[in-house]
Amino acid sequence: MTKSVNPKEWAVWPLASFLEQLCHYLYEIYDTDVHPALGQSPRDAYHDGFQDAGLRLQRLIPYDHDFLIATLPSTAKGTAMVSPGRGVKINYLFYWSEAMADPQFHRQRVRVRFEPFDLGTAYAFLGGQWTQCHSDYYRVFQGRSQKELLIVSQELRARNRDRGPQYQVTASKLADAFQNVDSQESVLLQRRRAWESQAARERTARLSVPPGRACDPAGEADSASCDDPTDVDEPTNCLNVDGFTEEATAVAVEACVTVTAPAV
């Protein structure tokens, strides 16, 4: 790739502004224009699909804690061994939960997930459920992103290249490096990008919830089973149909929003 066609040389849009314009095109222009293959707009075709095939409530996937954990990244193997007194090791860091003190988990490989935007938190599948774990040096790694970890670990290896393969990147060395002035510029740049990415995702979440909510296409909701989510503390299972677009299906991130699994 030459410099003249490298996207990095031409990128001028901040992520939030780019996302706003992209969503405007996809869901206000493309989604409402008549599509030659459909003979109607994609939005109308989507709504007609609900009218013809029904809501298929049995295929609704709630956007809840379990869904979020299931979509988090994992290690290359997808598992990690529980070291007694240390926990599971994920990307240089050990993560611990009090549940790991149980001898039945010692030296057993368990499924793991980690938060890409919070190095201080990870999850291990223990006793049939996902358990939250915290890293060593939690105060240092809390709120740090996975890409920040990659940047700092690469800088550590570059500085100690002359020490050969015997040099090992550890949690303590990473914690010190995160607080080292020499690492601040590159890390702060990556953190700014991570914050921008998170802000864009949260903004998309808010945009994915149209104002009308209903439990059936006609909008005749049963007030006992589909209350206004602002009047309750717990998430509802209401399906938003009025104004429900592909955006709401792809990115449903409010407490009462559910997403429809693709039909087979």
The model's pLDDT over 225-240, given as tens digits with 9 standing for 90+, comes to 333 433 433 333 333 3
pLDDT for 97-145, tens place per residue?
Answer: 999 999 999 999 999 999 998 999 999 999 999 999 999 999 999 988 8
Pairwise pLDDT comparison (229 vs 151), residue with the higher score:
151
Count of domains in the chain?
Answer: 2
143/103 same-domain check: yes
pLDDT at 230: 36
Q: Are residues 78 and 116 in the same domain?
A: yes
Give yes or no: residues 38 and 106 share one domain: no
User: Is 5 within a domain?
Assistant: no
Q: How many helices and strands (H and E) does the chain possess?
A: 9, 8
Task: Say whether both 124 and 90 belong to one domain.
Answer: yes
Is residue 24 domain-shared with residue 92, that is, in the same domain?
no
Measured in Å, how far apart are the chain's first and last C-alpha atoms? 40
Among 139-153, 195-209, 248-262, the minimum mean pLDDT is found in 248-262
* Structural domain that includes position 38: 11-54+211-260
pLDDT tens across 36-94, in order?
A: 999 999 999 999 998 998 888 888 888 888 888 999 999 999 999 999 999 999 999 99
Contact residues for 69 (Cβ-Cβ < 8 A; gap 6+) = 113, 123, 130
Domain shared by 146 and 24, yes or no: no
Higher pLDDT, residue 173 or 8: 173
